[in-house]
Structure 1
Amino acid sequence: MPSVLPDGDPVPASGELPPSALAGLGSRPFGFYVHVPYCASRCGYCDFNTYTAEELGPGVSRRDYAGTVAEEIRLARRVLGDAALPVETVFFGGGTPTLLPAADLVRVLREIDKEFGLRPGAEVTTEANPESVDQAYLEALREGGFTRVSFGMQSAREHVLTVLDRRHTPGRAARAVREARAAGFDHINLDLIYGTPGESDDDWRASLEAALAAEPDHVSAYSLIVEDGTRLAARIRRGELPMPDEDVAADRYLIAERALAAAGLSWYEVSNWARDDEARCRHNLLYWTGGDWWGAGPGAHSHVGGTRWWNVKHPAAYAGRLAAGTSPGHAREELTDDDRAVERVMLELRLVSGFPLAELAPRARTACARALADGLLEVDAFKAGRAVLTLRGRLLADALVRDLT
């Protein structure tokens, strides 16, 4: 949820979508993203639309937030009309959703169920800072219908967490996983970050070992990206910290692949590994495979039928729009067929299922042949008509996508 919103066309006060967006509604998977913008403190690398209590100032209360989001869910139902849209996935992200009481998150989930209906077996995920939950909190979420929790572990080394400005203590994430298991969660993710200035290969191996010892069924591992405007970027600019090195990041990725594969987790997206198909994050797969979703909350992005829009950033402006009975949408864009084709290649090529060669333009198929010769694509998959990345191809995925689009 980037903090800087792009430009776009105005969103009608009613939130009404163009007819092209509503065409085929219900034929594609549908999900909800709920953005909770509150954080106890701001991590130095974070560029998301988040706020601490000091940044929000007076007049913005967390106590009212669940009710405000419920208003947007009701708006979503009016905008999308009477089409049957059983919700397949719900994802609470942030920020730190678990800074709100568990009852508030459950209230929002129940509003989604009331207005749209949750499909039987729907996946319902919340992100959580390991320090922001305990077993009783997790039990309340599980009883309220949540099926999956994603903990921001990032690292097992204290000096790495310090550089990232993470406030939780090493070891807490593993205990949180055990508490989630005891609360009845079958699906648990740990988020890791590699390439932090000052992190060594041994530090990264220790983080992987600690994560795997907790026995999550899903691990996400991301290379640290230095975003403009963050505290980390300022420290690097002043020379206090070195810029992360791309070659080091590649080495760390290879270390991760070896460790995770040895532990029985298989990659299904370049930065995501799962124990089995059931453990894969279905909400992210909905994003990556062209589904529809409504993003509720300040700064949240939505996509329905080729129309993408994003809400106003600040929680006060967001609440004010909804209190006035108008859409919180800041701007929107209608994607062209070419836009959608390019995005499809960008996203699906990163998946273990790959992309069908027959649906690529002739120039892109020529580029695929070169990539095959360079060892970036799986030979057997290519013979079967799909472009699927090899391990080396995963390291060069962004460059390959540029060649194909």
Structure 2
Amino acid sequence: MTPNINLENLQAEISDTNAPSDYLPVKTNYNECNWNIVAGYFLSFACGVELNKYSKEDLEQDCKDELLSRQVSEEYFGVLRKAYFETDGYLNLAPKNLLLHTQDDQKSKVNSASKKVATALSTLLGDQEIQLSNAEDNHFIAELISSTLASKFTQKSQNGRPKPYLPFLYERFLGDLCFLIKKPTYFVENIANLLALYNFLHISQLALNLKEWKSGEPSSKPLFFIIENERVSSERSNVIDMGWNSFASASRNLFPILSILQTIQSKDNKKPLWQLFIEINASAEKQKYIDAIDDFSSRFIEARKLRNMTFEASTNVEESIEQLVDLALAQFDKRFADPSTTRYQANEKVVAALKEHTAKGFVKARGRIGNILVLSLDNLLLLTNLIIGTRNQLRFDELIDEFKGRGIYFDESSEEKLIEIFERIGNVERKSDSGDDLNVRQTI
């Protein structure tokens, strides 16, 4: 297998700017996204279709023309207009109707930021393309509106989608998404929440795994959450030390490393750093890649005017990549960065955006304890339903393992709180006082 290292990029003059990564859901400037627009773009990527300059008003007029041609009166269409087009009714008729959110040109900055988030989420799809169906109870009018919109879709190229960085999360996300697709009405109601949840799980697990590229394929790393409204004491060290604080520290590596990874690869075949390391190591021409990376690193020090950083020729692939990663991080570190620029501030903006936007709804301040990660009841129940999936029920300990597989860890106190919540809802069957003998059922 030929490593996806772009030798032309490595040999070219080093740009003064850092390449935005497809894996990163935020930019250094505007990042206020709209989750409905995110859902629209995500479905566009996932289904391989797109809308081009087709507004809600266009859809309304096309539906009106079609209905009038079928002898529907102007008066009756007025009733339909109030029911579907003066509300969001036309969007909720079928999953694919959400693509109309991508046509909101009135909020160009929000649209752009939302598309960036959807692009990052699409890396969780791998090369998969999904098929959506209409709502279970669609009637004639709903079918007409949905089919009219669908007739305006054009095929979208899937080339260039990066390989999933986190295979373990890719498998779970695809499974959750495929189950949700089978329930179109539930899909429309919950897809925005699911994407917001996975957006944070993806970037947090990516941050925790990023510097372990030498260890091979990533695995789920402990990241502790509490349940919404749960009390926290200072004795709960996992929640405090291996929750928000753990992610906040690791998030500083995201922009520097992902940016340099984007720079050295081919545009249409991007891969994770851990996979790139494996492929270069296995290549018969690995010395060629070592030399190319070393040459880039040597010129990078000069181009970025890094202080207290010296180039050293590498004796193996690991050393060449390690030096490149160190330099990528150094350019945003005041100890090494060029004092005549404010380049280091770019990474601060990304870190701030991750807290303000990506982690929004998942991080809460708890007085002296500081920030902690919180899972809302809505997200808890949504994910529980998706994990149980087509099964009637699941053992509580197996459910906990599936949460961990998605990057959500609970300490013993939170597990007890979970059982209390499930019992209050009435979706559990207890065979003993032990969580091992507790079965959790669907709530859909």
Q: TM-score, normalised by structure 1?
A: 0.24
Identify the structure with the greater strand proportion: 1
Identify the structure with the greater helix proportion: 2
Higher Cα radius of gyration = 2
